Every structure is written in structure tokens, then in C-alpha cells.
Amino acid sequence: MATTTATTPAHASIDEADWRRLDAVLHGFFRARVANPDARADLVQDVLLRIHERREQLREGDRLDAWAFRIARNALVDYHRRSRPQVELPELSEPPPEPVNDAPRVLGSWLRGQIELLPPRYREVLELVELQGLSQREAATALSLPYSTLKSRVQRGRDLLHAKLLECCAVELDVRGRVSDYQPRACQPCGCQGTPNNT
């Protein structure tokens, strides 16, 4: 009787050159987003510490820079939350009115799910640029891709999402080109079947 043994993926190793490169890349990332130099240095150290503490989560074949940028993005969000002044709001006697235009939120949620279904080469770049908010240059660095290659993958991924959206829904745009309303097509059930605005 043959026995099978489960093998766990090997952990990726992070060498001294990786640490030096990450330190420089993270300083550049935070320099563009945080004015206070002491806060920038603290954020870089915090991210490097998180990477060190979680390095077992990085598997062989994973992209170190993309993983590091994800951690840096989360640290930046935490920093801005802590830095924001807290204002006490008076209690409301009744709940606030529902948002007038829910279409962008519903379609945004649907698009996040659709990004997950794209081929990996497009999914990877759109996750960094559209969902994590990296610039295309930062994403190219994180993925070790030429900038022109990343730009074409972002555009191709956006084109695929756009085609899927138009296949699924009839979309109305306002004068600024933002989604103002949509109608799911009866022939194509999909995840954007929220309640459209009929204005």
C-alpha cells in the first residue's frame, strides 16, 4: 500500500541584500506619503519588523516586494488613522438618510470580485494599482517588471473588466464620467444585482 506524504511549501529566504533593498524602497514609498521624517523612519522600521516577524508566511515563489508593499500600505493606513484628530460627534435622534447613489459602491464591490477571476498576470497588477493604491511605477518595482509591461497589463486588465461590466450591466455615467446608475441585464445574472437607482 503506497503512502502519500503532504509536503508544505518551502519558506522563501530573505537575505541581507533583500533587507537593504527593502529599506531603501520603503523609505521612498513613505517619503512620498508622510511629511514627518521621524514618522517615516518609524513606519519603515515597523514594516521591516512586521516582515521579519511574518517571514515564515512568505512562500518560495512569492514576490517579496509585493508582499512588503501590502504590509507597508496597511501600516500607512494605520498611521493615518492614528494621526487623524478625533472629533466627538453629537448623537443623532434618527438614523442618517440612505446614500442617494449606491451604484458606485455596488459596482465597486462587484469589480473587486471580478479582479479575482482575471488571469494572474492581470489580477496581480490590478490588485496593487486599483485595490492597494500603489502607483504604476511602485507596482512595477514591486513586481520586478519593466514599467511599460506593467502599464500594458494594467490597461489590458481594465479592458477585460470593462468588457465584463458592459456584458453584465447597462451603465450610465454623469458629466464627469463617474457611474451614476446601472441596470443589470436580464440575460446575464451577476453579482451587481443590487438595487439600481432609477432616477
Within a domain: 7: no
Q: Which helix or strand (DSSP H or E) is residue 152 part of? A: helix 147-168
Residue % of the chain over a pLDDT of 70? 71
C-alpha cell at 41: 523612519
Residue type, 24: A
For residue 23, is pLDDT > 80? Answer: yes
- pLDDT (mean) for 93-107: 63
**Using CA of residue 11, residue 12, residue 17, residue 18, what is the dihedral sign?**
negative
76/20 same-domain check: yes
108/152 same-domain check: yes
CATH number at residue 20: 1.10.1740.10
**Using CA of residue 32, residue 133, residue 128, residue 49, what is the dihedral sign?**
positive
27/69 same-domain check: yes
C-alpha cell at 153: 497589463
- pLDDT (mean) for 24-41: 89
Residues 165-191: pLDDT tens digits?
Answer: 778 777 777 777 666 677 777 655 565
109/142 same-domain check: yes
Within a domain: 142: yes
Phi, psi dihedrals of residue 184, rounded to the nearest 5°: -60, 140
145 and 135 Cβ atoms separated by less than 8 Å = no
Within a domain: 197: no
Chain centroid offset of residue 65 CA: 14
Count of other CB atoms within 10 angstroms of residue 22: 21
Mean pLDDT of the chain: 79
111/76 same-domain check: no
C-alpha cell at 54: 511574518
CATH number at residue 140: 1.10.10.10
Count of the separate structural domains present in the chain: 2
Q: Pick from 112, 121, 104: which is nearest to 181 by CA?
A: 104
- pLDDT (mean) for 47-54: 91
**In angstroms, rounded to a whole number, what is the distance separating the alpha carbons of residues 159 and 157?**
5
Domain encompassing residue 40: 16-80
User: What pLDDT does 43 receive?
Assistant: 94
